[in-house]
Amino acid sequence: MKKIKIGETDLNVAPINLGGNVFGWTLDEKKSFEILDAFTDKGFNFIDTADMYSYWVDGGEGGQSETIIGNWLKRSGKRNDIVLATKVGGETGVHPVDTSKKHILEAVDKSLQRLQTDHIDLYYTHFDDEKTPVEETLEAYDEIIKAGKVRYIAASNISPDRLEASFAASEKNGLPRYQALQPHYNLLERADYESKYAPLADKYNLTVFPYWSLAAGFLTGKYRSEDDLGKSVRGDSVKKYLNEKGLGVLKALDQVSEKHNTTQATVSLAWLMAQPHIGAPIASATSERHLETLFEAPKLKLDQEDLQLLDKASK
């Protein structure tokens, strides 16, 4: 399997990034272990989580996902085979969005403890409080990188202006620079990323790992009417896609998936992989069947006709 190099780092990842947001939320530890085993047994090596997952379960400080991944790493002995990404700064039941130095220095130690590891490979600014000077945030990262706790940093939900300011501060002050970007991007959510963030990915050589790659499950094709919304806990979040555009995208996905004898989800991920700068789409799985869908995506090469059809339906 062809690996992708992240930015200007020495990290190389397989082309699917397993999302850990379901661990400790819709999946218990036993089932999470099964998914992690099956994912890594196929040669995939990139796992994504965040310190805030899944605080909404009990309104607390989160950490359920990191704890399960840490227990799995200890049991499997696979830490050295894994590129491990987690995030800091997101809101939980006990604190608001916070990218201050004080918060980052405290949060990284908690994450390391839960993950049962001495280092995080890729550490994201998850959300930006937009009041902490970007220099302060980067100084915190500089400190934890020098301490060996983190290898490289990346950015997720940060405005283009603050992202530009961060790169300027890195350059001016010799501070670590972001190597990857994790934006909201999929066949139904294109405009924001393509107009504001793709140019920055190009300018700063960022590898892009889109989240909500399958639009909270809508792009799997299982939600086609309001009657389908009760099929999962995420049903409410896809209601907004039940419109002319959303159904038009599903129609195009049906056509392409039938042509290649595959699933709509596999086609959606393959479309993302065919876009510039995309490293590995992030997708979670709650069953072996979901995993198969992910495993097939890197093997599917969409032709010009497929890409044009999907482009037209999703523009």
**What average pLDDT is seen over the chain?**
97
Label residue 228 by pLDDT band (50, 70, 90).
confident
Distance CA 239, CA 202 (A): 33
What are the φ and ψ backbone dihedral angles of 67, each rounded to 5 degrees? -60, -45
Percent of the chain with pLDDT over 90: 96
Please report where in the chains the tokens 């530009």 appear, as a residue.
164
**For residue 195, what pLDDT is reported?**
98
**For residue 233, what pLDDT is reported?**
73
Does residue 149 contact residue 105 with C-beta atoms inside 8 Å? Answer: no
What is the bridge-based pairing of β-strands 4-5 and 12-13?
A: antiparallel
pLDDT tens, position by position, 1-23: 899 999 999 999 999 999 999 99
| Rg of the chain in Å (alpha carbons) | 19
pLDDT tens, position by position, 127-149: 999 999 999 999 999 999 999 99
pLDDT tens, position by position, 233-288: 777 889 999 999 999 999 999 999 999 999 999 999 999 999 999 999 999 999 99
Chain centre to alpha carbon of residue 104: 20
Does residue 153 contact residue 184 with C-beta atoms inside 8 Å? Answer: no
Amino acid at 268: S
pLDDT at 28 over 80: yes
**For residue 236, what pLDDT is reported?**
81
Label residue 31 by pLDDT band (50, 70, 90).
very high
Label residue 306 by pLDDT band (50, 70, 90).
very high
Both tokens of residue 275?
A: 């876009």
Quote the pTM value. 0.96
Residue 127 β-bridge partners:
157
pLDDT at 160 over 90: yes
**For residue 157, what pLDDT is reported?**
98
